[in-house]
A = this chain, B = another copy of it.
Amino acid sequence: MPKCVVLLSGGLDSATVLALTKSLGFEPYALTVVYGQRHRVEIDAAKKVATAQGVVEHRFVSVDLNAIGGSALTDDIAVPKDRIESEMTDIPVTYVPARNTIMLSIALGYAEVIGAYDIFVGVNAVDYSGYPDCRPEYIAAFENMARLATKAGVEGKPTSIHAPLITWTKQQIIERGLALGVDYALTHSCYDPDEQGRPCRRCDSCLIRQAAFAELGLNDPALS
Interface residues of A (CB under 8 A from B): 59-65, 67-70, 91, 95-102, 104-106, 108-110, 112-113, 132-133, 135, 137-138, 141-142, 144-151, 153-154
Contact = CB atoms under 8 A, between A and B. Distances in A.
A142 B105 CA distance: 11
A146 B100 CA distance: 11
Given A65-B109, A69-B113, A132-B151, 13 more contacts: A61-B67, A62-B62, A65-B106, A91-B154, A97-B110, A98-B109, A101-B105, A101-B145, A102-B102, A102-B109, A138-B145, A141-B147, A142-B149
B64 A61 contact: yes
A110 B64 CA distance: 12
A65 to B, nearest CB: 7
A112 B148 contact: no
Contact of A68 (B67, B91, B102, B113): B113
A109 B138 contact: no
Contact of A65 (B60, B61, B135, B148): B61
29 contacts: A59-B67, A60-B67, A61-B63, A61-B67, A65-B106, A70-B109, A70-B112, A70-B113, A91-B151, A91-B154, A95-B151, A97-B112, A97-B150, A98-B108, A98-B109, A100-B149, A101-B109, A101-B145, A105-B105, A132-B148, A133-B148, A133-B149, A133-B150, A138-B145, A138-B148, A138-B149, A141-B141, A142-B145, A144-B145
